[in-house]
Amino acid sequence: MQTSTESVGTSAASSRPPRIAVAGVSGYAGGELARLLLRHPALEGAKPVFLGRAGESEVGPSTSLEALHPYLTAPGAVDSTPVYSFSWDRIADAGIDLLFMATPHEQSREWVPEAMERGLKVIDLSGAWRLQETRNRDVYRLKDTNPALAAELQTEAVYGCPELHRDAIKSARLVANPGCYSTSMILALAPLVQTGLVDLDHGIVCDAKSGVSGAGKAATAKTHFMYAADNFSAYNVFGHRHTGELLEQLHLSADQIQFTPHLLPIPRGILATIYLRLKQSTEPAAISAIFSDFYRDSPMVRLYRSPQLPQIQHVVRTNFCDIGFELAADGKRMVIVSCLDNLLKGASGQAVQNLNLMCGWNEQEGLL
């Protein structure tokens, strides 16, 4: 069994790239993950193994990646990429070192313990392992076959936000890849909250808006074109399950932050408008300096010079999180705007960023 201090698949004896599998490749995040991995410079010649998820009708004996995600079709239809039903045997036969799980949270919670017992490292894109506190995790209604082991793994799991936990990710065995909404808000808030400048008693308001891919690939009344197009709506007010990540990562209590998600009539992209008060009147330049220092070694965060603000079109199809802000004349009331692509920095791009860290590669490898 590998020890957690080695980088994946890159022991001294062999510099071969890790053998990677992706479970749950049929969804949007799975498709983007496949796209990123197939063109990843460090994985040339090491094509990942693509797997379905449990109980999935879309993945059968002759499913191909190109049939699930036609935009992945390479020239010449001959070399189609197979997608297999999920099985531990196939994972063992393929000598997989690292497993991405783009699966529903119930499956991630069930499969991760076995994966880890089999010596795999795991990057899980679901919400199953992101939350340390039981009350925050309640919203997912997770059931553990082996509660003791699950608790142990939960403690070991590293929240996969490279900008906050870069070193821990490098040596992690289990990375819980953050939620899309959470990433946009945590990256916008962490620098200021950590300085203690934010008036937490006043509370923080996050008004966040996401494109339709955030609702997943299932055809439902709310993902119907006739519902989403030319429309805009709020949902899950006071109750979105990404809230727990805000509380834990920013060390806030439930009455210090609230977050309202909305559905935008666009395919991809999240923009969060965040309202807070500073404890004392502050100059924009001082705020800029705090952000710049915090993200000095974080190439995936782009900072805007106040009063310029980011917008969704400039982050779509990138792995960047763009952040800008404005201060009121009083130097206290502040609006931060944060944007990212929910399928990339909000999901699969961040997962590859975590892979890069775990493998000792450049953090941006395959993401520019």
Query: What residues between 285 and 314 interact with a second copy by CB under 8 A?
Result: 299-303, 305, 307, 309, 311-314
Least Cα distance to 345 among 29, 133, 7, 114 occurs for 29
Which listed residue (161, 180, 339, 359) is catalytic?
180
Helix (H, G, I), strand (E, B) or coil at 193: helix
Burial of 64 (0-12, 13-18, 19+ CB in 10 A): middle
Q: What minimum distance in Å lies between the beta carbon of 322 and a second copy?
A: 8
Nearest residue (CB) to a second copy, 115 versus 180: 180
Identified binder of a second copy from the candidate list 233, 251, 283, 289, rule CB under 8 A? 233
Region 166-225 residues binding a second copy, contact defined as CB under 8 A: 202-203, 205, 207, 209, 212-213, 217, 219-221, 223-225
144 CB burial (10 A radius; 0-12, 13-18, 19+): middle
Q: Please, what is the minimum distance in Å from the beta carbon of residue 337 to a second copy?
A: 5
Minimum CB separation of residue 138 from a second copy in Å reads 14
**Rg from Cα positions in the chain:** 20
Q: Closest separation between CB of residue 211 and a second copy, Å?
A: 8
Q: Are 209 and 216 in contact (CB under 8 A)?
A: no
**CA 268 – CA 249 distance, rounded (Å):** 25
Determine the length of the chain. Answer: 368
The verdict on whether 206 is a catalytic residue reads no
State the binding string over 316-335 for a second copy (x if CB under 8 A, else -). Answer: xxx-x-----x-xxx--x-x
Give me the 71-100 binding string for a second copy, x by CB under 8 A, dash otherwise: x-x-xxx-----------------------
**Residues 92, 151, 234, 289: which binds a second copy (CB under 8 A)?**
234
- Cis, bond preceding 299 (omega within 30 deg of 0): no
Query: How many amino acids of this chain bind a second copy (CB under 8 A)?
Result: 71
In order, the DSSP letters of 22-44 are EE-TTSHHHHHHHHHHHT-GGGT
Minimum CB distance to a second copy smaller for 146 or for 231: 231
**How far is the C-alpha of 207 from the C-alpha of 229, rounded, in Å?**
20
Residue 232 in the binding site for a second copy (CB under 8 A): yes
175: Cα within 13 Å, side-chain hemisphere? 37
Active site residues: 180
